[in-house]
Amino acid sequence: MHSELQLFEVVDGLTRKKSFSPMVWRAKLALNHKGASYKTIPVTFLDIPVLIPKVCPNVTAPTVPTLKIADGEGLQDSMAIAEYVEKNYPKGPSIFGTTPCERNLQLFFDSYVSTRLHPAIQRLVYIEMHEDQDADNAAYFKFSREKGGKTLKELGGDQAQNLKELKENLGLIHSALLRSGGWITGEQPGWADFTLISAFIWFNSFSPQKFEEGILNAMDDQVLRSYWLKAQQLIV
């Protein structure tokens, strides 16, 4: 069963090589952490509803990440994938910790990243995500995001204010890294780190310059930059 694992990941429409989804990266980091052997299947936005059901017929509302775990069977959602590999690859360090308290704290951190960092990052990269698509995927991206009546530029809002909000919300994360002296979860990375690193990958994939300003230079020390450099060993 392990040799059959295939992970669908969304990529840009121009090069079809840039894997950027923070949710996909959460799954990839969890798989890597547990030493799972898997193959990645790159798909564009328009490929997702076409290709995933062909390989995983049980997935009727296809999204990424989807992990093919057996013939015809796919598992959706980064958390579900992490729980799957935690259960089926018991060797090595735990993803969520060894106690209910550790798990709950990591899930709280997950929620913090999703609600406090993701919205600002999304607004900061709307235009770049659109520009990195081929014509058909760009048209889909624009149409799907502008359904509410606002243009991509309007959805992006005030970029200076977005950066200010992001920097403010990084404060508690910066403090946590100062206290831990390593990963968010201590000596070994865990789910909390995977959620944070995945958000950083997403941001940096589309706007390295804004990532530099909004993340790496957000504080007056090198804590966040050092953390990002250390995270490179996990990004494969």
pLDDT reported for residue 236: 85
CATH number of 80's domain? 3.40.30.10
| Residue 197 belongs to some domain of the structure | yes
Model confidence pLDDT, tens digit, residues 55-107:
999 999 999 999 999 999 999 999 999 999 999 999 889 999 999 999 999 99
In this structure, the answer to whether residues 110 and 174 fall within a common structural domain is: yes
| Residue 165 belongs to some domain of the structure | yes
Q: Which of 87, 57, 61, 89 is nearest to 74 (CA)?
A: 57
| Model-wide pTM > 0.95 | yes
| Residue 94 belongs to some domain of the structure | no
Model confidence pLDDT, tens digit, residues 174-188:
999 999 978 999 999
**Cα–Cα distances in Å, from 28 out to 91, 94, 174?**
17, 15, 24
Beta bridge pairs of residue 183: 186
Q: Which of 88, 120, 136 is the last residue of a domain?
A: 88
| Residue 23 belongs to some domain of the structure | yes
Full domain range(s) for residue 58? 2-88
pLDDT reported for residue 2: 47
Instruction: Tell me whether residue 118 is exposed, middle or buried, using C-beta atoms within 10 angstroms of its C-beta: 0 to 12, 13 to 18, 19 or more.
Output: middle
H/E stretch holding 119 reads: helix 118-131
Q: Which of 41, 46, 236 is nearest to 133 (CA)?
A: 46
CATH number of 110's domain? 1.20.1050.10
In this structure, the answer to whether residues 120 and 74 fall within a common structural domain is: no
In this structure, the answer to whether residues 111 and 71 fall within a common structural domain is: no
Model confidence pLDDT, tens digit, residues 137-195:
999 999 999 999 999 999 999 999 999 999 999 999 999 999 997 899 999 999 999 99
| Residue 93 belongs to some domain of the structure | no
* Residue 1 reports pLDDT greater than 90: no
In this structure, the answer to whether residues 49 and 162 fall within a common structural domain is: no
